[in-house]
Amino acid sequence: MQRLSLIQPDDWHLHLRDGEALRAVVGDSARQFARAVVMPNLDPPVTTVAEAEAYRRRILAALPKDSAFRPLMTLYLTDHTSEEEIQRAAAHPDIIGVKLYPSGATTNSAAGVTHIGRRDPVFAAMERHGLPLLVHGEVTDPAVDVFDREAVFIDTVLNPLLERFPDLPLVLEHVTTRQGVEFVGTAGARVAATLTAHHLLMNRNALFRGGLRPHHYCLPVLKRESHRQALLEAATSGDSRFFLGTDSAPHARRRKESACGCAGIYTAHAAMELYAEAFEQAGALDRLEAFASRNGPAFYGLPVNRQTITLVRESWRVPERYVLGADDLVPLRAGEELYWKLITP
Ligand code: DOR
Ligand code: ZN
């Protein structure tokens, strides 16, 4: 296949940051996606409807002229989020869900939830209002092996949570394991998962290829090949509860190439090209449109986009760096060739 036209996709999990970084990256997503679910892990985090509205206005102001990109906002759940705030969020047309970061699990998660069981009144309110809970699904116990944290979270947190709240709409964000795929597979229609391009394309060997590769470090960390195969099977299975969420997470190069490098992989520069590569490797390019453009809207009860995008088989070289304010940003596949190219109308 030389040319692939798709209904315009959406990104159901994206980090846009703020200020200069926001202005540097938002155009990459807006070029491809009609909408994106914007993560609230700013510092300080986006914890109220008023803060989400203000952040949304900053995103709109940072967009290229005439862009029709629509940011869908999320609230950051804390130990103090009130049921009233949940009610306000549920009634708000631009707020799509509430993000659960177990405190300490990842970048800017310090204000996250310390005891998930103590937030049951808030989960009950979300279940009542049908407001989705978007979950970073990893335990934070340092005694648990970092490669097992998703599987342990499913057993010890997610399954009990869904037993208490069987009607709570829930997205296991950036699922990385076979156990995560099975969790969604056996749950009901209200449970879904997003899949990143980087977890579909790389296994944990990519962290150590010829040396330590900080630009392949993200959370949840890349897993072994058998898990990647399970993710590919899920993405290409036709099960509508698996959909696209890049988790594109820009960090300044200096903060990645450091003695304690932070987690996050930038993929927004070539997100659809990277997903096309993964689907092509799986022999399932014909399943890409459902995964990228139909399944997410179906889960969130939103209309499918009207526009289309086109990818062509044409190689191009990813730049070594992009500008990120005063620093720079190393994208996934920096300096390497990609074989699909998005053509802008
Ligand atoms: O790799 C990651 N980066 N995982 C996350 O959960 C957060 C994200 C970020 O904000 O940088
Ligand atoms: Zn994320």
What structural domains does the chain harbor? 10-301 (3.20.20.140)
Prior bond of 44 cis (ω within 30°): yes
- Residue 316 CA to ligand 1 centre (angstroms): 27
Judged by its nearest atom, the ligand closest to the C-alpha of residue 255 is 1
| Residues facing residue 248 across a β-bridge | 14
Looking at residue 345, its pLDDT comes to 63
191-218 average pLDDT score = 98
Mean pLDDT in the chain? Answer: 97
Contacts of 91 (CB under 8 A, 6+ apart): none
pLDDT digits (tens, 9 = 90+) for 289-302: 999 999 999 999 99
Residue 279 pLDDT > 90, yes or no? Answer: yes
Judged by its nearest atom, the ligand closest to the C-alpha of residue 245 is 2
- Residue 221 CA to ligand 1 centre (angstroms): 10
Looking at residue 106, its pLDDT comes to 87
Q: Which of 22, 42, 101, 106 to mutate to test the pocket of ligand 1 (most atoms within 8 A of CB)?
A: 106
Q: Find out whether the beta carbon of 342 lies less than 6 Å from any atom of ligand 1.
A: no
What span, in angstroms and rounded, lies between the C-alpha atoms of 73 and 242?
20
42-66 average pLDDT score = 97
260-279 average pLDDT score = 98
Q: Which of 46, 107, 267 to mutate to test the pocket of ligand 1 (most atoms within 8 A of CB)?
A: 107
Looking at residue 90, its pLDDT comes to 98
10 tagged catalytic: no
What span, in angstroms and rounded, lies between the C-alpha atoms of 164 and 222?
30
Query: Which among 247, 286, 327, 328 is annotated as catalytic?
Result: 247
Amino acid at 258: S
DSSP class of 248: B
Q: Which residues surround ligand 2, an ion (CB under 5 A)?
A: 247
173-179 average pLDDT score = 98
What span, in angstroms and rounded, lies between the C-alpha atoms of 169 and 82?
19
Closest CA to 178 of 207, 199, 208, 205: 199
Q: Find out whether the beta carbon of 15 lies less than 6 Å from any atom of ligand 1.
A: yes
Looking at residue 303, its pLDDT comes to 98
Note if the pTM is more than 0.95.
yes
Closest CA to 10 of 38, 40, 49: 38
81-110 average pLDDT score = 96
Which atom of ligand 1 lies closest to the CA of 15? 10
